[in-house]
Amino acid sequence: MSMLRRTRNALLTAVVAVALTAGGQPAALAHAGPPGAGPQAAGAADVARARVATEVLLESYDQEKAWFPSSWWNSAVALQTIGDYMLRTGDRSYVDVLDHSFETNKGPFPAGERSTDEIYGNFTSRAIDDAGWWALNWVTAYDLTGEAKYLDMAGTIGEFMHGFWDPSTCGGGIWWNEERTYKNAVTNGQWVRLTAELHNRIPGDTVWLDRSQEAWDWYVASGMINADGLVNDGLTDACASNGDTVWSYNQGLAIGAPLELYRATGDPELLAQARRLADAALDSTALVTDDVLTESCDRVDRSCDDNQKQFKGIFMRYLMDLADTTGDQRYQEFAAHQAETIWAADRDSSDRLGQRWAGGTSADHPNVFDWRTQASALSALIADVPQDAPARSLSATMSPDQLVVMPSPGATSALRTEVGVAATSDGRRPLRVDVRVDGPRGWTVDPDRSRLTLATTGDGTPTRAVVPLDVTVPAGVADGSYPLTVTVTAGPGLSWTTRATVQVASVVDFDAGSTEEVAWLWDAGGSGLSQAGSRFADGTSRFVYKLPFPAEATSAEATLTIDNQYVVALGPDGESWTTVLAEDEQVRDGSNKADHTLDLTPYLGPDKAVYIRVTDAFPADGWGGGVYHVSATFGTD
């Protein structure tokens, strides 16, 4: 996990050097400012929550490929969410991330490199809606930076999409794919929104406006909006509504499309239509359960696929836009309730945000925490940040926030972690931050009290500082999870609580993707989680487990349940590697899934840790190795 945080910190602005003077709440509880906090303090907490969730999301960003692993269109939506965060808060820490993604990915890619489809260049492919998500993302990048290249790219993608506007079938509408097999809500909702956005940003334009008005008129007449004001997925071959599932992202685009066109024309009926669609969603049991936005696949007896995981965030993006435009308290309160519920019920001890915003899990259909669910829930947190984001905010994170120790009998154990503090203010004077660390009884944390002085910039981008912590675990501590709770305060109204979890373990035994895995995962390296229950590494991605055996260990072995196209390497330090296991066939169906036992003894490092790295044996085709379960034992002389 330390490598995850290290990757995140490398993406942030430089850490400020500060002088330290030595001197909680559980992560599952909501943080809305100190007791009795007023609107400014609550707003500061809203900003801090969004900032922390953005940092966690960026831990999954693949710096080499400049995207989020294994999903082309989902990456566009996640990057736009990061842009939304920056527009909302004034924090410009990640502008370079967007630009890096633009420059790295604007060219062509063969099938399997970025998507199962070939990417033609300019973020286009046979999937027309995939191109639409990238276009909307680049409009957001233009709004952030004013750089013409982003708006130009959005226009280029728009022209590509326009080539699939076809009045000869169903009287109009954009085809969903290059094969022209389906006209649906998502592609046409994107099209109306994008064309209106381009018009509103290109002086003197009439072409994009005409296209947007024509497209909206067709959309309304298409029958995809049903009698309840909810949007079904698309049209049949006979050009009638297919009555298919009401998904939140289709409803969100249907809200955002007329809203942007309203800005272009001033026509009050367009704003009224956006409101009717929003009200229909909030009043519907198809999309809302107990006041929480809930996809049909969110039920505990079902699972959402990797696409569906991001739908709710798209809805919240456009509901936020409507709330900002109208000032309607109902929309604002709905957004606030989503954020509070997520933070209280759908957040784990690493501040990862899950699929089911109201919480809930089952053995067969567990709640999922990955970068897609993180991006989706982050949109709800952003929607709760006031339009005028408060100048003052304070947050803290732990790096690593999940640690594991395998203690020697009768001996203490030493660990190191650090507190990362991020603060904004109006810049008039330095911000003094007190840091307090509370560990379990009998544990020692040095320092347990610190004071930082941060010279903030006043522009919304936080100043950051780091406090290293040395932790001593006493001898004889039983196996289990133990919290280190950190509270940072800066005068009245600014307070934040975070924590790290120390896993004391006498054995290694965990499932990939589980809560227990997090402490052993030293470097996620762009890996992903499959619906089959594996952590997988495709292409150039990787993942590394660190097994910190106790000092008396003289031998060790591990058993991995693994499939597909794997390469497994071992090492003593996380830097030097020896390949010990590799699949030489291009297996894509998991048919080679098996347990493999590895001798770790030659790789016990000076600190008795062994690192296990999994990569892809055939990087070009996107079916890398997947690990389901890891167990390990050690011996002593």
Q: pLDDT, tens digit, for every residue of 267-308? A: 999 999 999 999 999 999 999 999 999 999 999 999 999 999
Q: How far is residue 178 from each of residues 138, 166, 223, measured CA to CA in Å?
A: 22, 12, 23
Q: What pLDDT sits at residue 112?
A: 83
CATH 2.60.40.2310 domain span(s) along the chain: 394-504
Whether the pLDDT of residue 397 is over 80: the answer is yes
Share of the chain above pLDDT 70, in %: 94
Whether the pLDDT of residue 153 is over 80: the answer is yes
Whether the pLDDT of residue 38 is over 70: the answer is no
Q: What pLDDT sits at residue 40?
A: 60
Fold of the CATH domain 394-504: Immunoglobulin-like (2.60.40)
Whether the pLDDT of residue 96 is over 80: the answer is yes
HSE at residue 121, side-chain half, CA atoms within 13 A, is 2
Q: pLDDT, tens digit, for every residue of 246-274? A: 999 999 999 999 999 999 999 999 999 99
Q: pLDDT, tens digit, for every residue of 322-357? A: 999 999 999 999 999 999 999 999 999 889 999 999
Mean pLDDT, rounded, for 140-158: 98
> What average pLDDT does the chain have?
91
Q: What pLDDT sits at residue 528?
A: 80
Polymer length of the chain: 637
Q: What pLDDT sits at residue 35?
A: 40
Q: What pLDDT sits at residue 113?
A: 86
How far, in Å, CA of 139 to CA of 119, rounded? Answer: 20
Pick the CATH number of 508-635 from 2.70.170.10, 2.60.40.10, 3.40.640.10, 2.60.120.260: 2.60.120.260
How far, in Å, CA of 396 to CA of 464, rounded? Answer: 9
pTM beyond 0.95: the answer is no
Helix (H) / strand (E) element for 553: namely: none
CATH 2.60.120.260 domain span(s) along the chain: 508-635
Mean pLDDT, rounded, for 461-476: 96
Mean pLDDT, rounded, for 223-227: 97
- Asked if residues 632 and 508 have their Cβ atoms less than 8 Å apart, the reply is yes
User: Is residue 427 helix, strand or coil?
Assistant: coil
Q: How far is residue 303 from each of residues 57, 267, 365, 378, 575, measured CA to CA in Å?
A: 21, 41, 6, 20, 37
Higher-scoring residue by pLDDT: 428, 245: 245
How far, in Å, CA of 473 to CA of 410, rounded? Answer: 11
HSE at residue 16, side-chain half, CA atoms within 13 A, is 19
Whether the pLDDT of residue 5 is over 90: the answer is no
Q: pLDDT, tens digit, for every residue of 71-83? A: 899 999 999 999 9
HSE at residue 249, side-chain half, CA atoms within 13 A, is 21
Q: pLDDT, tens digit, for every residue of 477-491? A: 999 999 999 999 998
The sign one gets for the Cα dihedral 587, 588, 591, 597 is positive
How far, in Å, CA of 27 to CA of 29, rounded? Answer: 5
